[in-house]
Amino acid sequence: MIKRFFIFFLTITLFFSQSFADEGMWLLSLIGKNYEQMKAQGFKLTPEDIYSINHSSIKDAIGGLGNEQYPFGFFCSSEIVSGKGLVFTNHHCGYEAIQSHSTIEHDYLKDGFWAYKMDQELPVDGMTISYLVRMEDVTNKVLAVLNDTMSESDRKAAIQKISKTLEKEAKKGTDYGADVKPMFKGNQFFLFVYITYKDIRLVGAPPSAVGKFGGDTDNWMWPRHTGDFSIFRVYTGPDGKPAKFSKDNVPLKPKHPLPISLKGEKKGDFAMVMGYPGSTDRYLTSWGIKQALNVTNPATIAIRDKKLALMKEAMDSDPKIHIQYASKYAQTANYWKYFIGQSKALVQRDVLGQKQEIEKRFQEWANQDPARKKKYGAALDTIADYYSKNEKHALSYTYLLEALLQGGEIIMFPAQLYRFERVLKNSPDNKELIGEMTKEIKVKAREFYKNYNEPTDKKIFAALSQMYYNTIDDEYQPEIFKTVVKKKYKGNFQKFTEVLFKKSIFPDSTRFMKFLDNPTAKVLDNDMAFKMMNQVINLYFELSGSDDDQYTKAERLFMDGLMKMQPNKLFYPDANSTIRLTYGNVGDYFPRDAVHYNYFTTLKGVMEKEDPNNDEFIVPKRLKELYQQKDYGQYADADGTMHVCFTTNNDITGGNSGSVVMNGEGQVIGIAFDGNWEAMSGDISFDNKLQKCIDVDIRYVLFIIDKYAGAHNLISEMNLIK
């Protein structure tokens, strides 16, 4: 579903009205402003039931999935569903964790994994889950250290300084972490305080034939028949506090485990989603739309086309490589297809025209008053001028990210030794520190090489580096491309690649481990891959840190002006990996002329899609048996069928994967996992008619756990509401 844009409305008459209920990613502490609208749609609780500092509330069950290095860089969402810290998320969110424990002998991706006892649960190295303790609007505290005469760089520095102070104060004397986040292009600021757990264990996952049914073909599509879920458990130290993995740790005792509804959902039912949406850019201008359509999206798609083809070729040739690259392939393919759909939807919905109409209205409003004209009048011209000069930079930045930083792993794996090289060079006699770092690097290296295939990476590196070299101007080329490749190899990356992989210590685990037995800075400094890594990283910082100060200020003024222009409109900030609530209703839709999609799918559709010759549509034997016997237990719908997925009009994006879907009573009815193809422009412009959130029905999740896997131990933990 992994910086897009903003929405106002489809017609001029709607431009000044309030948003529809299904649009909006709302901050929890401000949800009271939406209460009457939510209640009218079927919400049965109170705002304090959702967010409370003094009492347990739904927020205490909603976790953001991260890692030890970036605990608040949430990549997915999750929810606690038992009093023993049991957690639901998506299968694709747990995919890397499942893959990390898979081998040829025990292929948990293919066969699934179930822990029938707690001592069978598998620790997931580096995975964290964070829960919101509280949030606070600190806008006034931040603005107090700013003034209009500051340069943008001085403003940024002042914001960073006060943010660190506020974060330090919030963490003092606690086990908490804290993060100050800008909202509305830096016009508002909120402090988020979290508690982060570091001992997370894999409990259950269906086989990919269930959890990834439909594969890339069905990705972003409706109708959907995917059991996209996996199960983890949060552990704490014996004292109940966050702790790293230990056999002495105990399951978390949560404040608010969510009850689960077996009643099912009907068209028109209230539905709310809570999770950690990653990134939207709904306040982007028309010039940003043009750049996405003409520059960045086509570049991303072309590079990923090539990378996916090379990965697929290797994966099809060897079962071991298939396991090694399964997660990498899925991550690459997800947004490859997304950007294809986004470009198509942007054009079909004339989002560019909508943006231009908004900008026209804004300029008219700004020009109507001398004071407004002085403050806001030049904002759009400044933004337009920036984009007209920025095309080459944007293309280079996209290629750097996609073809080099996310291309061959030979470029970024050496970054693990960046600090190590400095220590070897500047403190060669500090044997204790070097020994500790060496031990840590060996652990990371073993994990890396477990999922690394040198011939595959060699092909990817050569092909994507060649694309970068052929497309990007010299001023944005790494030095090694401009000198060694251009002069010595005449631009031939096949020859350059052969030499680099032969001479570098990084492609071969034996050579690398031998280096770690007697590490020296000289070896790293002379290594071609290490040199290239340094050059690529430096180029990244150069490109990513080159935003024009006037453009940044103009964006902030444009956002500020939009809100002042519509004082009665209830605005929501762009997604930025902070917890949000969205609300709407269960429902069907009409994607195009003469086509109607129902709001739910059933197990019958799984059988209809079965294709034994296509690994995306294989149906497990056990699932077919249960279908033929109609053995659905207590999880069947009132109509006697086994519902699999359903759609709502909730507003979600990447990062919402794994988010809980609840009814008006705060009971779990599903897990969100995707958006629909017809509205792929949603991160830029929400479509009130077409936008759908695709959810796996919680009854199908329980059916797979109970009837398919026989993991009755997990069912017994949950509070099921009939």
Confidence at 546, pLDDT banded by 50, 70, 90: low
Q: What does the block give as tokens for 721?
A: 């509401």
Taking alpha carbons only, the member of 88, 134, 50 closest to residue 666 is: 50
pLDDT band at 8 (very low <50, low <70, confident <90, very high): very low
Active-site residue list: 92, 228, 657
Tens digit of each residue's pLDDT (9 = 90 or more) over 634-691: 999 999 999 999 999 999 999 999 999 999 999 999 999 999 999 999 999 999 889 9
| Cβ-Cβ contacts under 8 Å for 705 (sequence gap 6 or more) | 204, 231, 711, 714, 715
pLDDT for the residue 544: 83
Give the confidence band of 5 by pLDDT, cuts at 50, 70, 90. Answer: very low
Instruction: Work out the angle between the directed axes of helices 431-450 and 418-426 (0-180°, nearest 10).
Output: 160
pLDDT tens, residue by residue, 47-75: 999 999 999 999 999 999 999 988 899 99
For residues 555 and 189, give the distance between their C-alpha atoms in angstroms, rounded to a whole number.
16
pLDDT tens, position by position, 517-536? 999 999 999 999 999 999 99
pLDDT > 70 in the chain, percent: 97
Backbone angles phi, psi at 669, to 5 degrees: -120, -10
Would you say residue 16 has pLDDT above 90?
Answer: no
Instruction: State which amino acid sits at residue 430.
Output: N
User: Residue 591: in which H helix or E strand, if any?
Assistant: strand 589-592
CA distances from 337 to 102, 279, 298, 328, 350 (A): 26, 17, 12, 15, 20
Which tokens is 304 given? 């990923």
Q: How far is CA 615 from CA 210, 223, 228, 319, in A?
A: 11, 19, 16, 13
Say yes or no to pLDDT of 376 above 50: yes
Res 22: pLDDT: 76
Instruction: Inform me whether the pLDDT recorded for 20 exceeds 90.
Output: no
pLDDT at 226 over 70: yes
- Percent of the chain at pLDDT above 90? 93
Position 69 scores a pLDDT of 87
SS3 710: coil
Alpha-carbon distances, residue 364 vs 361, 370, 544, 565 (angstroms):
5, 12, 33, 11
Sign of CA dihedral 623, 629, 631, 637: positive
Candidates 692, 683, 714, 689; CA nearest to 701 is 714
Three-class HEC string of 394-412: HHHHHHHHHHHHCCCHHHH
Evaluate whether 699 touches 264 at the Cβ level (below 8 Å). Answer: yes
For 459-524, give the DSSP string.
HHHHHHHHHHHHHS-GGGS-HHIIIIIIIISTT-HHHHHHHHHHH-SSS-HHHHHHHHHS--HHHH
Region label for 86, one of left (φ > 0), alpha (ψ between -120 and 50) or beta (otherwise): beta
Can you say how many angstroms the Cα of residue 254 is from the centroid of all Cα atoms in its chain?
25
Q: Tokens in use for 628?
A: 């033929």
Cα 714 from Cα 215, distance rounded (Å): 27
The pTM for the full model equals: 0.91
**Cα–Cα dist 62/660, whole Å:** 8
Q: Which residues neighbour 100 within 8 Å (Cβ) at sequence distance 6 or greater? A: 124, 125, 447, 450, 451
pLDDT at 13 over 60: no
What's the whole-number mean pLDDT along residues 17-33?
78
The mean pLDDT of the chain is 94
Is pLDDT of 10 > 70? no
Higher-pLDDT residue of 460 and 547 is: 460
Strand bridging mode 260-261 / 720-721: parallel
Encoding tokens for residue 342? 């986004």
Contact 441, 420 (CB under 8 A): yes
pLDDT digits (tens, 9 = 90+) for 599-611: 999 999 999 999 9
Q: Provide the strand spans (E) within 515-588.
A: 580-585
548-601 pLDDT per residue, tens = 889 999 999 999 999 999 999 999 999 999 999 999 999 999 999 999 999 999
Tens of pLDDT, residue by residue over 201-220, are 999 999 999 999 999 999 99
Residue 298 has pLDDT above 50, yes or no: yes
